[in-house]
Amino acid sequence: MNVAYEEMIRQFERVLVKYGITGQDASISAKLFADASRDGVHTHGLNRFPKFIASIKNGSVDVTKRAVPVESYGVLERWDGQRGPGNLNAYLAMNRAIELAGNQTVGIVALRNTNHWMRPGNYGLMAVEKDCIGIMWTNTVPNMPAWGGKDAKLGNNPLVLAIPHASSPILLDVAMSMFSYGKLEKYKREGIGCPVDGGFDSEGKLTRDPDAILSTHQVLPIGYWKGSGLSLALDLIAATISGGNTTRGVGQLPTETSLSQFFMAINLSSFPDREQLEREIANTLEDLKTSEARNGQTLHYPGEGMMKTREESLKNGVWVDEEIWKGVLEA
């Protein structure tokens, strides 16, 4: 079924207030959840909401705390998330990076001790709305083996690269694992294989069988050894610049909390050739479309499909999983 976007925000807000997130923060958090569902990222919108409420109940998210600045180095600031709500912390951090970039072209906030930020792309969209390039990533609990190993030593460490472009930004939002565990579960439920190799089976062979991967817990990094290296480097950079936990450190805690994140904004409005830059972005995206397609596939740039889903959602309501939505209404 579909639910009006505004109604979705209203219901999220009502529940958040009940669990201690009040005032403007309730509106912001509700909108971040609703925006994810509106743009088609259901896993980190409505579908994640019950888990978020559970993390408040079990104490891993402290609703009374918010990210606060702790050290300042000009355009770079270190913030402490104090284990507050992850989406609000990320919102505050990105907002500050954008503010710094507004004054000084570049802004960086390195955030430690935070919680899961829900949909990564939300913070990229914040950047492009203010005409900024947005670059951000988070570390996670260990959930992926390093290349050559069997034990989960690395995080899947989602990375966002966002570039303003007219009304339809380029929004790349990619984890360093080929598929999330959620996606593997989905393939398993639907009885289909992964579209490409997704991990290793019990014999150490690459496989598309979601069930085999779910039983070994050996998901595949993007680009094999390359994604393994990328995950490690992103983790160490976020942890080092923020002064926070590495993925290894997070793995020693009872639940996934006290994460480290990196937020950077670069303000394109600073540049005198801003209009020419926009033209060349448009030229590049148009040029992509002139490519001959492989086997009837269609070429999209990252974020392009999202804008179509958003239009649909705003026109016909946001698609919801009825069971989960019912749970929100009754919460």
What secondary structure letter does DSSP report for 270? G
Q: Which stretch binds a copy of itself (CB under 8 A): 3-11, 16-24, 283-291, 319-327?
A: 283-291
CB of 198 to a copy of itself, least distance (A): 11
Q: Is 241 in the site for a copy of itself (CB under 8 A)?
A: yes
Q: Which residues sit opposite 263 in a β-bridge?
A: 109, 136
Interface pick for a copy of itself out of 280, 308, 316, 321 (rule CB under 8 A): 280
Please report how many Cα atoms fall inside a 13 Å half-sphere around the Cα of residue 31, on the Cβ side: 12
Q: Is 147 in the site for a copy of itself (CB under 8 A)?
A: yes
CB of 27 to a copy of itself, least distance (A): 31
Q: Is 273 in the site for a copy of itself (CB under 8 A)?
A: yes
Q: Which stretch binds a copy of itself (CB under 8 A): 15-23, 34-42, 60-68, 235-243?
A: 235-243
Residue 69: which H helix or E strand, with range?
A: strand 68-73
Q: Is 217 a catalytic residue?
A: no
Q: In this structure, what token pair is assigned to residue 17?
A: 């207030």
Q: Looking at beta carbons only, is 106 or 318 nearer to a copy of itself?
A: 106
Q: Is 98 in the site for a copy of itself (CB under 8 A)?
A: no
Q: Looking at beta carbons only, is 19 or 147 nearer to a copy of itself?
A: 147
CB of 39 to a copy of itself, least distance (A): 16
Q: Is the separation of the CB atoms in 208 and 156 below 8 Å?
A: no
Q: Is 204 in the site for a copy of itself (CB under 8 A)?
A: yes
What mask, x for binding a copy of itself by CB under 8 A, covers residues 20 to 59? ----------------------------------------
Q: Is 224 in the site for a copy of itself (CB under 8 A)?
A: yes
CB of 136 to a copy of itself, least distance (A): 12
Interface pick for a copy of itself out of 18, 51, 68, 71 (rule CB under 8 A): 71
| Angle between helical axes of 49-57 and 322-330 (0-180°, round to 10) | 40
Interface pick for a copy of itself out of 108, 128, 184, 250 (rule CB under 8 A): 108
Strands 132-138 and 159-163: antiparallel
Q: Which stretch binds a copy of itself (CB under 8 A): 15-23, 56-64, 287-295, 306-314?
A: 287-295
The residue among 147, 173, 118 whose CA lies nearest residue 233 is 147
Q: Give the burial class of 100: count Cβ atoms within 10 A of its Cβ; 0-12 exposed, 13-18 middle, 19 or more buried.
A: buried
CA dihedral over 119, 80, 157, 202, signed as positive or negative: negative
CA dihedral over 99, 104, 105, 110, signed as positive or negative: negative
Q: Is 113 left (phi over 0), alpha (psi -120 to 50) or beta?
A: left
CB of 35 to a copy of itself, least distance (A): 20
Question: How many degrees, rounded to 5, is the angle at CA 313 between CA 119 and CA 187?
Answer: 55
Q: Is 249 in the site for a copy of itself (CB under 8 A)?
A: yes
Query: CA torsion angle for 26, 29, 31, 37 (degrees, to 10)?
Result: -140
Which residues belong to the active site?
44
